[in-house]
Amino acid sequence: MDRPDTMRVMLLVEQGKELVNTRLPVPCPGQGQVLVRVKACGVCRTDLHIMDGDLTEPKLPLVLGHEIVWEVVEIGEGAFGLAPGQRVGIPWLGWSCVNCAFCQNEQENLCRQARYTGYQFDGGFAEYTVADARYCFPMPEEYSDAEAAPLLCAGLIGYRSYCMCGNEVKRLGLYGFGASAHIIAQIAVHDKMAVYAFTRPLDETKQKFAHTLGAVWAGGSDELPPEPLDAAIIFAPVGDLVPAALQAVRPGGVVVCAGIHMSDIPSFPYSLLWEEKVVRSVANLTRRDGEELLLLAPKVPLRTSVQTYPLEDANQALDDLRQGKLTGAAVLIP
Binding stretches for Zn ion (CB under 5 A): 44, 46, 96-97, 100, 103, 111, 153
Least distance CB 47 / Zn ion (angstroms): 7
CB of residue 315 to Zn ion, shortest distance in Å: 18
Residue 320's nearest CA partner among 308, 305, 303 is 308
What single-letter amino acid sits at 197? A
Nearer to Zn ion, 46 or 207 (CB): 46
- Residue 72 Cβ vs Zn ion, minimum distance, rounded to whole Å: 22
Q: Nearer to Zn ion by C-beta: 100 or 189?
A: 100
Number of continuous H segments (helices) and E segments (strands) in the chain: 9, 18
CB of 235 to Zn ion, least distance (A): 11
Q: Which is nearer to Zn ion, 1 or 283 (CB)?
A: 283
From the CB of 199, what's the least distance to Zn ion, in Å? 20
Distance, CA of 39 to CA of 152 (rounded, Å): 14
Give the nearest distance from C-beta 311 to Zn ion in angstroms: 18
User: Shortest approach of Zn ion to residue 111 CB, angstroms?
Assistant: 3
Strands 171-175 and 194-199: parallel
* Helix locations, the chain, DSSP H: 45-52, 101-104, 145-148, 154-163, 179-190, 204-212, 241-248, 287-296, 314-322
Written as one string, the DSSP assignment of 294-331 is: HHHTTTTT----EEEEEGGGHHHHHHHHHTT--SSEEE
* DSSP state at residue 219: E
The per-residue DSSP string of 63-88 comes to E----EEEEEEEEPTT--S--TT-EE
Residue 100 or 278: the one with the smaller Cβ distance to Zn ion is 100
* Closest to 137 measured CA to CA, from 70, 76, 79: 70
* 153 vs 318 by CB, closer to Zn ion: 153
Of 37, 25, 8, 47, which Cα lies nearest the Cα of 131? 37
Compare residues 243 and 328 and give the one whose CB is closer to Zn ion: 328
| Residue 65 or 225 with smaller CB distance to Zn ion | 65
- Whole-angstrom CA distances from 236 to 33, 46, 136, 221, 229 are 34, 11, 27, 10, 18
